[in-house]
Amino acid sequence: MSIHKEVKKVTTNTLQKMKAAGEPISMITAYDFSFAKIFDAAGIDVILVGDSASNVMAGHETTLPITLEQMIYHAQSVVRGVNRSLVVVDLPFGTYQSNSDVALASAIRIMKETGAHSVKMEGGEEIIDSIKKIVAAGIPVMGHLGLTPQSIYKFGTYTVRAKEEAEAAKLKNDALLLQQAGCFGMVLEKIPAQLAKEVSESLLIPTIGIGAGVFCNGQVLVMHDMLGINTEFKPRFLRQYLNLHEQITGAVQQYISDVKRKDFPNAEEQY
Ligand code: KIV
């Protein structure tokens, strides 16, 4: 008999059941083994290997430059640290927008080379054929509507989306299309809380909000923002749970001082 307790893994079905039971879904981004291991052990439901890696890991201004190879590297590292959480991986810009064959090939590479459980794609009606093809191949897809950072040069700004009736109506229609196409859930980013409520109530699949209010079926934050590693980004929707920037700066300054004063290493810290 194994001494290891079987963990109940989070699946796309688990998320559907959580929505039906009214239990909020927790989701956070991760890009490497060590943080993924901590988040998984802490009990997070979903880990998103976000293309925000382009910003917070690589230092780019937008999410556009990150490549499929780089996303695969991050996803492989995250998957090695995960035992229980559902792992979702962003398909990066340029790997699914051109046509559904290209989109399917990209999604297959993510699934085959990383061991992740699903992919996420930004957009509605315009990518429906690709979503259907990927779902038909047995790959779970999470949608992403509202502020879609891969389209930043179309929007021209990171402000709240769908405040006007026409854009809100398109978003509502896109949400239904994503559900019909077989998505198991969707991220709603930076839209009014009342619109997110309407969308969430109109769907059977869960919505995960970021800057979309409390009526979504779950919430997601970028780890660098919520842990206070990245202190320049302070949007209204962000709750910062730690100030790691300050703590790490203090710790490294103490280390530098200890080295300079020849306080480190001491007699117990050497051989
Ligand atoms: O890439 C990312 O981190 C995301 C979240 C903002 C949802 O897509």
- Residue 4 covered by a domain: no
* 131 close to 118: Cβ distance less than 8 angstroms: no
pLDDT in tens, 162-171: 999 999 999 9
Round to the nearest angstrom and report the end-to-end CA distance of the chain.
Answer: 42
- Residue 3 covered by a domain: no
Q: Which of 68, 152, 147 is nearest to 110 (CA)?
A: 68
Is 71 touching ligand 1 by the criterion CB < 6 Å?
Answer: no
Is 189 part of the annotated catalytic residue set? yes
* 32 close to 40: Cβ distance less than 8 angstroms: no
Handedness of CA 106, 107, 108, 111 (dihedral sign): positive
Residues 120 and 152 in one domain: yes
Residues 259 and 226 in one domain: no
Q: Which two tokens stand for residue 24?
A: 């909020």
The parent domain of residue 260 ranges over 244-271
Residues 157 and 253 in one domain: no
Residues 81 and 212 in one domain: yes
Residues 192 and 179 in one domain: yes
CATH number (domain holding residue 169): 3.20.20.60
Report the number of distinct structural domains present in the chain.
Answer: 2
Distance in Å, CA 64 to ligand 1 centroid: 13
- pTM for this structure? 0.96
- Please report the atom of ligand 1 found closest to the CA of residue 149: 8
Residues 68 and 125 in one domain: yes
pLDDT in tens, 36-70: 999 999 999 999 999 999 999 999 999 999 999 99
Amino acid identity, position 46: V
The whole-number pLDDT of residue 6 equals 78
